[in-house]
Structure 1
Amino acid sequence: MTGRMTGEDTIRRKIEALATTLTLPTVRRAMGVIEGEHPSNRRFGSDDIMDIRPYEPGDEARRIDWHTSARSGRPMVVQRQRQVTSRVWMLLDTGKEMTGACESGEQAWQVAANGLRMFAALSLRRSDDISLVCADSSSITRAPFHGGFAQFEGMLQRALDQAWAHPRNMDALLDYARRITDRNALIVLATDEHAIGDRQLASLRTIARFHPVVLIDVATINPFTARHRHVADADTGRRLPAFLINTTSAGEVDTHRRYLAAQLESELHAGGGMLMRAPSSQAMFDTFIHTISLSLAGTGLSSPTGPTATHGRRA
C-alpha cells in the first residue's frame, strides 16, 4: 500500500493556493490557450453575442464594446459565447509501473497526481465538470465527482490509496478516451515516460482529432547513474550489476530518453496536443506556471529551457 501524501506537502499547498489566487479572467484565458477554442454555452468568449449590459467594476476592459458604448453614452460590456470546453476528463494510469522512482524521491504516481491537481484547480475555478478515470490491467473505473477542489482531492486520494499490484493497460485507457462522445472536451492523460509507444501514439492522434489533449509525462530516474546504485527492478527486486553503472551508460540512456520525448512532443504538437514532461512535482508545477505565464503574455506556448519539460500548442 502506498503512503498517503500529507497536508505538509509543499507542492500540494502551492496547488491549493493556485486555485484561489488567480482571478477568473486569468484562469479562463490560460485554460483557453491550453485547450484550444471551440463554442460552449458559457459567457465571456469571442463568438456569438449572448447579451449586453453596463460596465461594472471588475469587468475586463477588453469586454467593452466601444460602438455600443458610444450609442448608449456609457461603457457597455458585451457578453459573448465562451470558446472553451465545459468538461475535463482526467485519465490516470494506475498500473504498478507508476510506482517507479523519480529523481526527487517521489514515485511517478505522485508526480502524475499533482499534475492532475493543477488542471483540476483551474478547471474547477472555471466551474467545469471533471471526470476521473483510472485504469490498470485488472480494471478501469470512472470515479464520481461533485463539488469543489477539496472534494476532488478526496476523490483522487481514494483512487490513489490502493495496492498498485497490477500492470498498466494503456491501450484500455486510450480506448476509453476514444469512446468519449462529448466532442471537444479536454482530455488530460497522466502516465510515465515509458507508457507511450507507437501504437499508443497512433491512438492519441485519433483522440486529438476530436479533443484537445494534454499528456502529463513523468520522467523517472536513470538507473545507470552512479547515485542510484541502490535502485532495484520493481518486478524482480534485482539491482543492476555495478559494472553497468557508469557515466557512459547513463549518458546514452539520457540521450535516448530526450530523443523519445522530443519525438513525442513533435507528434502531439502536430495533432494539436500538448506534452508536459517533468521529473518531479516541483518541476511539473514550474512547467504549468510557465505555460500559464506565456498564455497571459499573449505569446502562445513554447518549450521552456531545459530537457525535463516540454510544451506543445494547439494549432
Structure 2
Amino acid sequence: MRPDPRHVSPEAKNVRRKIETLSSTLNLPTVRRALGVLEGEHSSSRLGGNNDPMSTRDYTFEDEARLIDWKASAKLGHPMVIDRERLVTSRVHLLIDNGLEMEGRTISGETAREVAGNAMCMFAALSARRHDRISLVFGDSLNIIRKPFKGGLAQFEQAIDNAVGAEKRHPRNFEALLTYARTLTDKGSLVVIATDEHALSGDHMRSLRLIAAMHPLMLIDVATLNPFRKVPFGQITDGIDGRRIPAFLIGRQSADSVDAHRRYLTAQLQEHLKACGATLIRATSSEDMFSQFIHLVSVTLKQTSYASFEPSSAVAGGMA
C-alpha cells in the first residue's frame, strides 16, 4: 500500500548522511571485525587475520592491539605487528527486489525501495572500506540486472538512486532473484537480499536454506504500512491499481489483527533463518534499519569478545 499523493521523506537522506559519517569515522580494523562476525570467514591471500604469518612490520594506530607480536616487540624495543593471512569474504553480492511492489510506503513515508537502498548503502560503505568486490543486482519480472561495482560510496549511492528513481516499473519476481543467488559459485561470499515483507512465502524457504548453505546470508525485510491503520500523511491507496482503502475498513480491530499476523510470520521467518545460519533485519524505516544494524554488530562483537563497536558521537547522537 502507498499514500497518495506521493511525497519524498527526508529520513532516507538523513540516514544516508549517517552512513557516510559512519564509514569515514570507523577505522579499518573495526570495519573488518564488524563485517567478519556477521558473514563468517574463509581463507584468502589478504592481510589482517589469524592464519599463517606473512610479514612483520611496525605497529600503526590503525592496527588492533591483539595483532602485536610481543616477542618481536621486546627484542626491537618498539611495538611490532605480524601480518597474517586474513580470513575474509572478498566479494559481496547485494541483491535488491526492484519490483513494482517495492513502491509500497513505510510508516516513515519512505518507499520500501528507499529503505532497501539505504540498507545496501550500509553494507557497501563498510565493504568498500575493506576493498571487497561488490556486485549490485536488481531483479523484477522482466530481467535480472547485475552491475559490477568499482568506486567509492558516492558512486554506489548514485547507482542506487538511479534505480530507485526509474519511472517504469515491472512486477516483482522474487523467485528469480533467489534463483540468481543460488547460481553464485564463489562459495563463502556474503549475500545480502533486500525485499519487503509481502514477497516471502513458505515456497521460498528451501531456496533461502540452499543459499545459506553456500554463503553467509543476510535478509533485509522491509515492513510496509498497515493498510487498516490511520497514517499522518495522505490517503492510503493500493500500490498497483490506485484504489483507495474504504474508510469503514480502517480501524483499530482490523489493524491489530494485521499486526499480529505480521508478527507471527516474522517470528517464523526469523526462526527459519536462524536455523540455517542466516540473519534477518526487519526494518520499518531507514532509521530503524540503521539502528538495528548498529545494534546487531555491537552485540555480536561483544559476544565474540572483540573490542566494542562504537560509532562516533555524531553518528550515535542520531540513534535514539
Relative to the length of structure 2, the TM-score reads 0.87
Aligned residue identity for 1:255: A
- Provide the residue aligned with 1:99 in structure 2: 103
More strand by percentage: 2
- Provide the residue aligned with 1:141 in structure 2: 145
Q: Is the 8 A contact 1:193 1:219 kept in 2?
A: yes
CA distance in 1, matches of 2:32, 2:98: 30
Structure 1 residues 58 and 233: CA distance shift in structure 2, 3 A: closer
Pick the aligned partner of 2:83 from 79, 82, 89.
Answer: 79
- Provide the residue aligned with 2:228 in structure 1: 224
Structure 1 residues 57 and 190: CA distance shift in structure 2, 3 A: closer
CA distance in 2, matches of 1:57, 1:278: 35
- Provide the residue aligned with 1:310 in structure 2: none
Aligned residue identity for 2:98: T
Aligned length: 299
> What's the CA shift string for 1:92-144, capped at 9, x where partnerless?
11000000011001111000000000000100011111001101001111113
- Provide the residue aligned with 1:240 in structure 2: 245
Pick the aligned partner of 1:117 from 117, 121, 138.
Answer: 121
- Provide the residue aligned with 1:31 in structure 2: 35
More contact order relative to length (CA 8 Å, sep ≥ 6): 2
1:41 aligns with 2:82: no
> What's the CA shift string for 1:137-186, capped at 9, x where partnerless?
01111113211111111222222231252110111111111111111110
Structure 1 residues 203 and 111: CA distance shift in structure 2, 3 A: same
Pick the aligned partner of 1:257 from 252, 255, 262.
Answer: 262
Structure 2: gaps (5+ residues):
1-5, 306-320
Q: Is the 8 A contact 2:12 2:286 kept in 1?
A: no
Structure 1: gaps (5+ residues):
301-315
CA distance in 2, matches of 1:220, 1:3: 15
CA distance in 2, matches of 1:212, 1:299: 17
- Provide the residue aligned with 1:163 in structure 2: 167
Shift of 1:249: 1.1
Structure 1 residues 239 and 227: CA distance shift in structure 2, 3 A: same
Pick the aligned partner of 1:289 from 271, 291, 294.
Answer: 294
Q: Is the 8 A contact 1:94 1:164 kept in 2?
A: no
Shift of 1:54: 3.6
Pick the aligned partner of 1:52 from 35, 56, 60.
Answer: 56
CA distance in 2, matches of 1:102, 1:247: 18
Q: Secondary structure at the match of 2:46?
A: coil
Cα root mean square deviation, aligned: 2.2
- Provide the residue aligned with 2:313 in structure 1: none
- Provide the residue aligned with 2:17 in structure 1: 13
CA distance in 1, matches of 2:164, 2:61: 43
Structure 1 residues 8 and 109: CA distance shift in structure 2, 3 A: closer
Q: Is the 8 A contact 1:29 1:296 kept in 2?
A: yes
What are the within-5 Å matches in structure 2 for residues 163-182 of structure 1?
163-182=167-186
- Provide the residue aligned with 1:305 in structure 2: none
Shift of 1:202: 1.1
- Provide the residue aligned with 2:218 in structure 1: 214
